[in-house]
Amino acid sequence: MHILLVASAFNSLTQRAHAELRDHGHSVTVELALQDVPLWDAVSRHQPDLVVAPMLKSAIPQKVWEAYTCLIVHPGPVGDRGPSSLDWAIHEEVSRWGVTVLQANAEMDAGDIWASVACPVPPVGKSDLYRNEVSDAALSAILLAVERFASGTFSPQPQPQPQPQPQTGGGAEGVARSRAYFDQGLRRIRWESDATETVVRKLRAADSFPGVLDELLGREWYLHGGHPEDGLRGRPGELLATRAGAICRATADGAVWIPELRARRAPGGPAMFKLPAVLALGDSLPRLHEHPAPPPAADASLRTWADIRYREDGPVGFLSFSFPSGAMSTSHCRRLLRAYRTASSRPTSVLVLGVAGTSSPTGST
């Protein structure tokens, strides 16, 4: 088949869908949904057999979905609706979530269901969840939906009817619930009373975007990334230490590491971007102790944050790294090289270098 991918950005999921669909023998092209290009013009130019939207922030116009079958990838289980699905999943601490491929119609996220694949939700930030478990489930769901469409015999299932009022708690699949946009009022951190687990959950749900709006050293910042710290303590809200560009801030019962900050955009000013927290704060940051990461042999149950980690499993050594926004400065490269040389000196047979990830079996319907 000739498949057109329509996306707001050629992000990791769109790239992966493009590659895997081509590997399955399909002719695949990509069209970005840009504000100055009418989507109808782009779609009609390609004349696809099927339109698939792996990551689309805007609605597909009626003229398009009436003329072509358009499949939307929604990062939520059957019945879930709304723009903040993964934010709510992390906020509600669900253990299982899912991805649904549905057909575009007049109501957002309410079209007939072509495929749904479940996935686990480990205790990670939204971006890690999206790139790993959600991405795996999305690809399985896309391939299943495309196979069903190509067969010409599959009839998509209608969405469940909405409940009179949204239920609370982890999202049960098969129950329609429309969730509100997860705004900054819900994300707000109350440093005096919020425990570490609560703060980490709020930070993880905002992760790469939009961040958690907060006040720090007299300015408003969006906080990005959150990792628990068991060893350091202080007055709630107090800055305690730095480590590799991140700052450690006290909670009501412990502390958290925050790797990145983004200044709030001034009215009429340019868009701001994320920076390592220490670099963003600059001269306003008080003198703090640079707290080193614990050695690999330290107690594994002690929770803390480090952008470079090493562990061993029998004859295999694992050297993992995770730098803010994936960027590597000269300092990052030098520290990673030192860690590599140290790991290479260990009595192991194999050294695995990369970013640590999670994977678990998924279930599809």
The sign of the CA dihedral 312, 354, 117, 1 is negative
Q: Whole-angstrom Cα distance, residue 345 to residue 196?
A: 37
Q: Whole-angstrom Cα distance, residue 353 to residue 358?
A: 15
Give me the pLDDT at residue 172, please.
47
Tally of CA atoms within 13 A in the half-sphere of 86 that contains its CB: 29
Give me the pLDDT at residue 87, please.
96
Question: What is the per-residue pLDDT across 82-120, written as a single tens digit (0 to 9) for each?
Answer: 899 999 999 999 999 999 999 999 988 889 999 999 999
The single-letter code of the amino acid at 345 is: S
Give me the pLDDT at residue 102, please.
97
Does residue 360 surpass a pLDDT of 50?
no
Q: Whole-angstrom Cα distance, residue 177 to residue 277?
A: 37
Q: For 176, which DSSP code?
A: B
Does residue 356 surpass a pLDDT of 60?
no
Does residue 60 surpass a pLDDT of 80?
yes
What six digits make up the tokens of 155?
């009839």
What's the chain's average pLDDT? 91
Question: What is the per-residue pLDDT across 122-142, written as a single tens digit (0 to 9) for each?
Answer: 999 999 999 999 999 999 999
Q: Whole-angstrom Cα distance, residue 312 to residue 344?
A: 12
Does residue 252 surpass a pLDDT of 60?
yes
Question: What is the per-residue pLDDT across 165-178, written as a single tens digit (0 to 9) for each?
Answer: 444 444 445 566 78
Higher pLDDT, 264 or 361: 264
Tally of CA atoms within 13 A in the half-sphere of 339 that contains its CB: 24
Does residue 298 surpass a pLDDT of 80?
no
pTM for this predicted structure: 0.86
Residue 319, strand partner residues = 310, 353
Q: Whole-angstrom Cα distance, residue 341 to residue 336?
A: 9
The single-letter code of the amino acid at 221 is: W
Q: Stretch 233-262: mean pLDDT, rounded?
A: 97
* Cβ atoms of 85 and 43 closer than 8 Å: no
Give me the pLDDT at residue 109, please.
85
